[in-house]
Chain A
Amino acid sequence: MLELMLNGKKISIKEGATILDAANAAGVNIPTMCHLKGHSSFTSCMVCVVKEHVSGRLIPSCTAPVANGMIIDTDSTEVHHARKSALDLLLSEHVGDCEAPCRLTCPAHMNIPLMIRQIASGKMTEAIETIKEHISIPAVLGRICPAPCEKGCRRSRFDSSVAICLLKRFVADIDLYSKSPHIPVCGISTGRNVAIVGAGPAGLSAAYYLARCGHQCTIFDDRQEPGGQLRYGVPENILPRQVLDKEVEVLKKLGILFEMKMKVGKDISICELREKFDALVLAPGKKDQYSLLSWLVKTTEKGIVIDAHTHMTSESGVFAGGAVVHEGRLAVRAVGHGRNMAVSIDHFLKKIPVTGVLRRFESRIGKIHEPEIIEFMKESDCSQSIEPSGGATAGFCVDEAVRESKRCMHCDCRKQDDCKLRDLAEKYSASPKHFNVEGRKPFTRVTTHTSVVFESGKCIKCGLCVRITEKAHETYGLTFVGRGFDTFVGIPFNESLGAGLQTTAEECVKQCPTGALAFKNC
């Protein structure tokens, strides 16, 4: 047995163990990327470094064997710094978007590429779940949204953008007019209640997501019917009221209560609401500064002052969103606000730090070059955009929707929620900008496998796939090609990815620490 000090604690471990083994045994977590149990160590990524005080060196814990008397620090500032610098360097050569430009431009942050892939493979039930994760009233928005996402769509560099809004509407309509429209699984009742002022898109959306968390919501509005500007500002021919009614119906099924024809400040005071409810949402739509004076929150001529991230107002427990905090009348933004408020209020009610929706680390390619469009197009149908045969107001039929969805270029990373690089970049506040790079490697995509896609720019050269294919005696497998900065993982003799990964595709995708190897459909 060997003895060492790990973060100030004495530990014994059997001979031959690595520092990582010792840390694991002691319940200390050390991040790794290139390491995989059962495979020989490679020691390339260097995010597992720890400080060894006897030698004064930073050493890779995945490989370094424990020696008697070592004094190891796994969490000091120096160690964090070293890990961050390794991540900064890896990110500085990372060519890939975590999220697609369409999603990044969507004010409600809907997962558009995922929805599109679900439509393309006919999984409409999954598609509505994807939509409703961020947009509570998609059938309404599918008719009125000016679709900023489509302006972000990269396909427009090739011909014209994908008809994202119509696709969303197509899925929403199928669901809304089905026998049992989608009802989200709601959390167990928390016994907490929230008052929402305003039954417009922001209020409705906040209610939807609060209800999902198990909170009881009551919406107060001075109008006859819910919908706010959707009902009283949008012409009927653009948004048939029946569509709005049906989506409000879904909300009612979630147990949301509507107190219509109740004017806050007249029929019921803000103070009363604050007394009766655990939290308060202010989403009354556009209001002038004077009419807001009685609302007891800090305001300017632009509306209620909030923390842009958490939507908290100057008063604890009072949140605001929609047109009352933001000039402009974009319904999709109001819908996004509603969800953000719900997240913050949920934190507030659970008495945990109110962070709002956490912004994730985003890797971005930025401007793409002409030849890269071809790479992006490798999985896409090259045909021109599809016009709905029944005219734009009629929307897509199934066949049209599927065809249109196949035009998507899949700009997003298909492992964005299962990427060690992204997670660690967040944890160590690493940044691709730290090293101020001029120019980058070109984006490439290999699609010559039935189910796997390989995007070399996201590869960190950890060699896990190389080791996995070698161990499994793949006929071709994957291998490192070239040397130094230009090293890349390739298939011997330029064979197809299918030939390279005959038996190990699933394992390679699973173990790839980034989105370099991913399933085409996820």
Chain B
Amino acid sequence: MVKQMTDGNKNFVTEQIELSVVDVAVAEHGRKPSAVIPILQKIQQHFHYLPDEALRRVCDLTEITPAAITGVSSFYSQFRHKPVGRHIISVCHGTACHVKGAGLIQDALVRYLKIPDGEDTDPGRVFTIEKVACLGCCTLAPVIKIDGLTYGHLTPDTVGRAIRDFLALEQRYIVPRKAGEQPERPKGLTEIRIGVGSCCVAGGSHKVRQELESEIQKIGADVIIKPVGCVGMCHQTPLVQIVSEKGEPVTYAKVNADAAAQIVRRHFKPNGFLRTVRSELSSALEHLLTDETWEPVNRYELDVRDAPVCSFLGKQKRIASEWCGSMDPLDIDEYSRNQGFLALRKCVCGLSTESIVDSLIKSGLRGRGGAGFPTGRKWTLVRNASGPVKYIVCNGDEGDPGAFMDRMLLESFPYRVLEGMVIAAYAIGASEGYLYIRAEYPLALQRVRKAIAVMKEKGFLGKNICGSGFSLDLKIAEGAGAFVAGEETALLAAIEGKRSMPRFRPPYPAENGLWGKPTNINNVETYAMVPWIMRNGVEAFVSMGTETSKGTKVFSLAGKVVRGGLIEVPMGITVRQIVEEIGGGTAGGRKFKAVQIGGPSGGCIPESLADTSVDYEALEAAGCIMGSGGMVVLDETDCMVDIARYFMTFTQRESCGKCTHCRIGTKRMLEILERICDGRGEQGDIERLEHLGQTIRAGSLCGLGKTAPNPVLSTIKHFRNEYEAHLQGRCPAGKCRALITYYINDDCIGCTRCAQACPVDAIELLPYQKHKIQHEKCTRCDTCRQVCPSDAVRVRHAKMGVSG
């Protein structure tokens, strides 16, 4: 299709757009209106944005209307309508990254790439910057991802290095094109990937590579050595990864030249031994996303005797994440050996649906997605609903910034989640179902897809499961970027190919759900609990937890804590135990201030209430919610007003825009919070926030809106004095940029580093003299403080003219 446009005397011929990909997408996903999201995803994968011509073509070929395609493609944040630069830089604005300075990183990138105001792409159209809610690498915060490469622990000062590093790699053609796309490798050949990201190079990867090459020559193996970019574990460099046709890649961290030879020899020896090494290593490295527990190459299994690791694991109790760190996610035989599918077999082949539901009710299991509705009761409702067609749906739209429990469960225990779904489907009488999983989790999608195929092959899914006569067909619906899709009615709308907007309940999905049929929706973690309960019995489950909250809960522990990571703890544990015993307390000797639980729907538990027990009711009484399990620890350098603004920014951006209170109310709350953080707060603003918060809570249609004011109301409740300080021009935590002042004290040695590093020339270069910051120019990017070798750059926690 060639388009000609005449403009005066010039003839522009727009680029010819080859639309055959549209036809392919339609052939693959069908002509029904519900196919719109996968079709759009396919088109965007091809063009990197959605050209109008392609969308019109979709309308020509399918039942999808122009109104529907416009509405849907503009609703989900994954879809772009404008061409982008050659590379996408995703700046993570998850909670952990936020508290560690994601805003400063974003600003530094914009400055470094000279991106014009109001745009997202540099003038040379090389890089497009986009904000993402959470990349799920909270322990590496702050993080950016350039195409497939992750750079962690960044500072405004090192942003330029990351870009230069990326460009250097690009020149050598070794950058995977887009997130989730695996670099091509010749069929049948094993590949040794060696990290050549800047950190890996700094860690000596050059030498390691030479050693690998010479060793391979020695044994004459048919192996490709391929340098790859940073994998994100920059504190564990150099990294070596062995990728073969079958099985998961094996990653070795902190490899030195000696170890390189060993690795080659291990992998190219007869099979038996290799297998163990591979599975143990991959799980150890992949699933414990803590800085401390990633172990160097010479240790294959976590040593529980090691003190910090011991306390990290000691308080934990694993149900959803059982066998964590020692199981190959996709090895179905290994899963079976570890009691996998026992529960499934027992249920579909022997138990009545009634007794299963009854067990669930007795177990007291409550939904792990946040609201805590009793799972057994939900199943009963769906089971009792009339009609021959029922659906089972798994809610894997984990969107809370700072939460990645579901991703971990889907990536590491796909069989367990699916097993739980099969049992649920059997109990309620569903023979068809969907897993709705965010597109931002490519590995989870890939593994679940694979797991479904394997389970079908082995007779655990599909027709006549385990010879029981029960059949279940499960499909994957890939999310396209909408936090609100975590709300169950919005999720159903998304599966149906509509804008993901919640609707009023009742009717609940249990009686009127997907395509109007009775539907059971549970969260990933909820399903993952089911096999354990059915296998070990109700008694074992109810022995853990509190009166009203039974069993365990998975949390992602991040923020200002020494040992972050994914933890599974029995209900009833206190917040303090989690922070201090499992997390090892706050880092750097700073004071523990609060824990944010439940993300944008939750609230803050101040240190004074840290002995609150983790159960649904106790958390709610403390002005918090259980939520899906994000837990971000805050210390004295975190500003509570800023945290409130952060979450309000998130919910406001994620509001679907349907009901008045959420659509406009969250915007108004955000405006007030912004002006408070900007030092333009007015008397009465705190009361205004409280009033608006109550209004939104009472008037919103769905859970997102009703809980949106929580982070604000809970911080006002516990930290009102900080709000008041802001109105007086002070930020006690020294975080809000408009309310702090940088200055240089007499410790300055005149080394000029600050002046050289300052991106806005706010410091005059004066060798051997005391330097001075010009406050009008200073953007408080913190670079000078970070580069100062004598700790002479200080921050006063008040704006100019206000006494700190």
Q: Which residues of A are in contact with B by a Cβ distance under 8 Å? A: 41-46, 49, 58-60, 63-65, 67, 82, 85-86, 89-90, 92-93, 435-438, 460-461, 466, 469-470, 474-487, 490, 492-493, 495
Closest 9 A-B residue pairs measured CB to CB? Answer: A492-B66, A487-B657, A479-B67, A492-B70, A484-B655, A89-B664, A479-B71, A63-B504, A485-B667
Interface string of B669-684 (1 = CB under 8 A from A): 0010001000000000
A484 and B656 contacting across the interface, CB-CB below 8 Å = yes
Closest to B698 in A: A58
Q: Is B652 an interface residue (CB 8 A)?
A: yes
Q: Give complex CA distance A87, B645 in Å.
A: 25
CB-CB under 8 A from B506, the residues of chain A are: 64-65, 67
Contacts of A486 in B (CB 8 A): 657
Query: Is A90 a contact of B664 with CB atoms below 8 Å?
Result: yes
| B66, B653, B671: most-surrounded residue (chain A CB, <10 A) | B66
A436 to B65 CA separation, bound complex (whole angstroms): 40
The listed residue with most B CB atoms (<10 A of its CB), out of A44, A93, A469, A470, is A44
A483 touches B656 (CB 8 A): yes
Task: Chain B residues near A484: list those with CB within 8 A.
Answer: 652-657, 663
Report chain A residues within 8 Å CB of B665: 89
10 examples of A-B residue contacts, CB within 8 angstroms:
A46-B660, A86-B699, A89-B661, A89-B665, A90-B664, A482-B75, A482-B657, A485-B657, A486-B657, A490-B70
B659 and A480 contacting across the interface, CB-CB below 8 Å: no
Partner pick for A45 among B55, B482, B653, B660, CB 8 A cutoff: B660
Query: Which residues of chain B are within 8 angstroms of A483 by Cβ–Cβ distance?
Result: 74-75, 77, 482, 499, 655-657
Q: Chain A contacts of B70 at CB under 8 A?
A: 479, 481, 490, 492-493
* B655 x A58 contact (CB < 8 A): no
With a CB–CB cut-off of 8 A, which chain A residues contact B667? 93, 485
Q: Are B699 and A46 neighbours in the complex by a CB distance under 8 Å?
A: yes
Q: Decide if A44 touches B675 in the complex (CB within 8 Å).
A: no
Asked if B342 is an interface residue, CB under 8 A from chain A, the answer is no
Contact residues, B366-407 vs A (CB, 8 A): none
Nearest-neighbor residue (CB-CB) of A82 within chain B: B699
CB contacts (< 8 Å) of A58 on chain B: these are: 698-699
Contact with A along B476-501 (1 / 0, CB 8 A): 00000010000000000000000100
> Known: A58-B699, A60-B701, A85-B695. Contact between A480 and B657, CB under 8 A?
yes
A366 to B66, CA, bound (A): 36
A369 → B minimal CB distance (Å): 16
Q: Which residues of B contact A (CB under 8 A)?
A: 52, 55-56, 65-71, 74-75, 77, 482, 499, 503-504, 506-507, 652-661, 663-668, 671, 675, 688, 692, 695, 698-699, 701
**Given A437-B671, A479-B68, A493-B52, also A60-B658 (CB < 8 A):** no
Highest count of chain A CB atoms <10 Å: which of B67, B668, B671, B688: B67
Q: Which residue of B lies closest to A477 (CB)?
A: B67
Query: Are A435 and B71 within 8 A (Cβ)?
Result: no
A43 touches B503 (CB 8 A): yes
CA distance A63 to B506 in the complex (A): 9
Specify which of B65, B75, B652 is in contact with A485 (CB 8 Å cutoff): B652
Contact between A89 and B654, CB atoms less than 8 A apart: no
Contacts of A85 in B (CB 8 A): 661, 695, 699
- What are the residues of chain B within 8 A of A481 when measuring CB–CB? 70-71, 74
What is the chain A residue whose CB lies nearest that of B667?
A485
Which single residue of chain A is at the shortest CB-CB distance from B69?
Answer: A492
CA distance A90 to B661 in the complex (A): 9
Known: A477-B65, A493-B56. A90 touches B656 (CB 8 A): no
Question: Which of chain A's residues have a CB closer than 8 A to the CB of B668?
Answer: 89, 92, 435, 437
A487 x B663 contact (CB < 8 A): yes
B663 touches A485 (CB 8 A): yes
Residues of B within 8 A of A461 (CB): 657-658, 663
Q: How far apart are the CA atoms of A476 and B67 in the complex, in Å? A: 6
Chain A residues within 8 Å of B652, by CB: 484-485
For the complex formed, measure the closest distance between the CB of A115 and the CB atoms of chain B, giving whole angstroms: 35
Instruction: State in angstroms the CA–CA spacing of A484 and B657 once bound together.
Output: 4
Chain B residues within an 8 Å CB radius of A42: 658
> Least Cβ distance of A15 to chain B in Å?
12
Are B659 and A44 interface neighbours, CB within 8 A? Answer: yes
* In the complex, chain A residues whose CB is within 8 Å of the CB of B661: 46, 85-86, 89
Residues of chain A within 8 A of B504, CB atoms compared: 41, 43, 59-60, 63-64
- Taking a contact as CB atoms under 8 Å apart, the answer to whether B660 and A49 are in contact is no
- Contact present for A492 and B67 (CB under 8 Å): yes
Is the Cβ of B657 less than 8 Å from the Cβ of A435? no
Bound: A270/B52 CA distance, A: 79
List the B side residues contacting A438 at CB < 8 Å: 671, 675
Q: A476-B66, A480-B71, A483-B656 are in contact. List 13 more A-B contacts (CB 8 A).
A: A43-B701, A63-B503, A90-B664, A466-B67, A478-B67, A481-B74, A484-B652, A484-B653, A484-B656, A485-B655, A485-B667, A492-B66, A492-B70
A470 to B499 alpha-carbon distance, docked (Å): 14
* Chain B residue, CB-CB nearest to A474: B67
Q: Are B699 and A493 in contact (CB under 8 A)?
A: no
Are A65 and B507 CB-contacts (below 8 A) given A86-B661, A89-B660? yes
Q: A436-B688, A493-B55 are in contact. Are A485 and B664 (CB under 8 A)?
A: yes
Chain B residue numbers with a CB within 8 Å of A65 are 506-507
Residue of A nearest to B655 (CB): A484
Q: A435-B692, A480-B71, A484-B654 are in contact. Are A93 and B55 (CB under 8 A)?
A: no
Quote the shortest CB–CB distance from B496 to chain A (angstroms): 14
**Shortest Cβ gap from B702 to chain A (Å):** 10
CB-based nearest B residue for A436:
B688
Q: Which of chain B's residues have a CB closer than 8 A to the CB of A435?
A: 668, 688, 692
Task: Report how far A438 CA is from B667 CA in the complex, Å.
Answer: 11
Q: In angstroms, how far is the closest chain A Cβ from the Cβ of B480?
A: 11
Residue on A nearest B666 in the bound complex, by CB: A485
Minimum CB–CB distance for A469 against chain B, Å: 7
List the A side residues contacting B660 at CB < 8 Å.
Answer: 44-46, 86, 89-90, 460
Minimal Cβ-Cβ distance residue in A for B657: A487
Q: When chains A and B are docked, how far (Å) is the Cα of A44 from the Cα of B699?
A: 10
**What is the CB-to-nearest-CB distance from A337 to chain B, in angstroms, rounded to a whole number?**
40
Minimum distance in angstroms from A157 CB to a CB of chain B: 25
CB contacts (< 8 Å) of A82 on chain B: these are 695, 698-699
How distant is the Cα of A487 from the Cα of B499 in the complex, in angstroms? 12
Residue numbers in A under 8 Å from B65 (CB-CB): 470, 477, 492
A12 to B664, CA, bound (A): 37
Complex contacts, B656 vs chain A, CB 8 Å: 483-484
Minimal beta-carbon separation of B592 from chain A (angstroms): 34
Which residues of chain B come closer than 8 Å to A487, judged between CB atoms?
657, 663
Distance between B40 CB and nearest chain A CB, rounded to angstroms: 14
Specify the chain B residue showing the minimal Cβ separation from A482: B74
What residue of chain B has the Cβ atom nearest to residue A90's Cβ? B660
Which residues of chain A are within 8 angstroms of B666 by Cβ–Cβ distance? 485
Per the bound structure, the CA–CA distance linking A314 and B666 in Å amounts to: 50
Most chain B Cβ neighbours within 10 Å, of A470, A490, A492: A492
Q: With A and B bound together, what is the CA distance between A85 and B692 in angstroms?
A: 9
Q: Which residue of B lies closest to A81 (CB)?
A: B695
A479 to chain B, nearest CB (A): 4
Measured between beta carbons, the chain B residues less than 8 angstroms from A437 are 668, 671
A85 to B660, CA, bound (A): 9
Residue of B whose beta carbon sits closest to that of A43: B504
Bound-state CA distance A480–B52 (Å) is 17
CA of A82 to CA of B654, assembled, Å: 24
In the bound assembly, the distance between CA atoms of A42 and B489 in angstroms comes to 13
The answer to whether B659 and A49 have CB atoms under 8 Å apart is no
